[in-house]
């Protein structure tokens, strides 16, 4: 649950943030370090130069460097130890034993499912796997079932058109995805169905106004956190 910043918390942050470690401030007011950093940035608070130069800031400076630190630091022009060694990582025998080799059939993958399997898409449509063609990305190996139902009966979808469910017939139940439940529409018609332009002018203006108000409310709420 998000917790609104109280005035006393904000006062404490303004007072202590410039010259105190942020973790201590967070522990005092019951906030996370990330929340304190975000609110400080929103309020325009910064650490003082004196604090940043002190040991309390836990920063490495020239005055606190050691010979061991200098010895391990990369120098300008220094050649990396693995320069010119292509493919060093993963060539060990134990690594190669578990690698998926190029040219291996897809069904050897641990997450493989056979052609004809079904799954729900992220957009809420039922999809069917139609191929294992390795030249296609995994997502392209799946096609929406309602599209397949239409193309099986009518052939390829014409350019500029899409197959959609008829109003009120959308479903992910395989048995209910039938030819009478889908239709072919132009992309222009689909856009008009899915935007506020399908409403009368007065209603469309109200939809726009509601969206503008919602954005402002969300912005104010975000700034108040």
* 127-163 pLDDT, tens digit each: 999 998 878 888 889 999 999 999 999 999 999 999 9
Q: Are 48 and 59 in contact (CB under 8 A)?
A: no
Q: Are 121 and 127 in contact (CB under 8 A)?
A: yes
What residues does each domain of the chain span? Answer: 7-60, 118-194, 201-225
Predicted TM-score of the model (pTM):
0.46
Encoded tokens for 96: 């190669």
DSSP alpha helices (H): ranges in the chain? Answer: 7-16, 22-29, 33-43, 49-53, 67-72, 93-96, 145-154, 187-194, 201-224
* 3-47 per-position pLDDT tens digit: 889 999 999 999 999 999 999 999 999 999 999 999 999 999 999
Confidence of residue 88 (pLDDT cuts 50, 70, 90): low
Partners of 47 in the β-ladder:
none
* 120-135 per-position pLDDT tens digit: 998 899 999 999 887 8
Query: Count of CB atoms within 10 A of residue 216's CB?
Result: 10
Mean pLDDT taken over the chain = 85
Taking the C-alpha atoms of residue 121 and residue 117, their distance in angstroms, rounded to an integer, is: 13
- The reported pLDDT for the residue numbered 96 is 75
């Amino acid at each position: 649950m998000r917790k609104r910043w109280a005035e006393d918390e904000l006062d404490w942050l303004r007072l202590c943030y410039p010259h105190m470690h942020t973790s201590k401030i967070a522990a005092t007011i019951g906030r996370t370090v990330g929340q304190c950093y975000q609110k400080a940035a929103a309020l325009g608070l910064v650490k003082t130069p004196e604090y940043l130069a002190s040991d309390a800031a836990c920063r490495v400076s020239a005055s606190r460097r050691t010979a061991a630190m200098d010895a391990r630091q990369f120098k300008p022009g220094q050649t990396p130890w693995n320069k010119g060694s292509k493919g060093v990582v993963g060539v060990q025998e134990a690594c190669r034993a578990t690698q998926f080799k190029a040219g291996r059939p897809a069904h050897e993958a641990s997450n493989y499912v056979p052609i004809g399997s079904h799954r729900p898409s992220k957009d809420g449509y039922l999809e069917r796997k139609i191929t294992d063609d390795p030249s296609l990305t995994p997502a392209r190996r799946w096609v929406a079932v309602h599209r397949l139902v239409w193309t099986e009966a009518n052939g390829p979808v014409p350019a500029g058109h899409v197959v959609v469910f008829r109003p009120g017939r959308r479903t992910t139940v395989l048995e209910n995805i039938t030819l009478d439940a889908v239709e072919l529409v132009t992309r222009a018609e689909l856009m008009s169905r899915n935007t506020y332009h399908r409403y009368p002018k007065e209603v469309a203006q109200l939809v726009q106004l509601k969206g503008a108000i919602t954005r402002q409310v969300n912005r104010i709420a975000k700034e108040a956190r």
